[in-house]
Amino acid sequence: MAATLEEIRENFSLLDDWEDRYRYVIELGKELEPLADGDHSEENKVRGCVSQVWLKTHLSDDEADPVLTFLGDSDALIVKGLIAILHATYSGKHVSEVLSIDPEVIFNELNLREHLTPQRSNGLRSMVERLRKISQEAEG
């Protein structure tokens, strides 16, 4: 079972140094539900990432406030872990909630920005932008 955002926050607070947190992020990625081979497609590929990243999104049929769910994968272990954090943050949430979440607050709280390369930070931003764009389009 994938970790919740609260569990991730709690575990980050228990880990003293970034090396341990880095290993934890990689472990989170290993727990992700696998993406089917056919979903590693151009349509699901996220642009703006140095690594290969795919996000397969789904919106529920609720027209008033659909629920966004997604699966993701990457060819880089640390990026898979970042996808797991995004999954805990956004997947299973109504699009109105997705749009109300300030990812910077979460990333700052976990000190992700200061420990990621600029390229990884840009990739993380690209993934968030994709999820927000899908939510904005669904919200109309």
CB 122 within 8 A of CB 45: no
Catalytic residue among 3, 8, 35, 49: 49
Among 2, 16, 138, smallest CA distance to 72 is for 2
Distance CA 68, CA 37 (A): 21
Residue tagged 């709690």 (tokens): 10
Residue 75 annotated in active site: no
CB 11 within 8 A of CB 24: yes
- Active centre residues (catalytic): 49
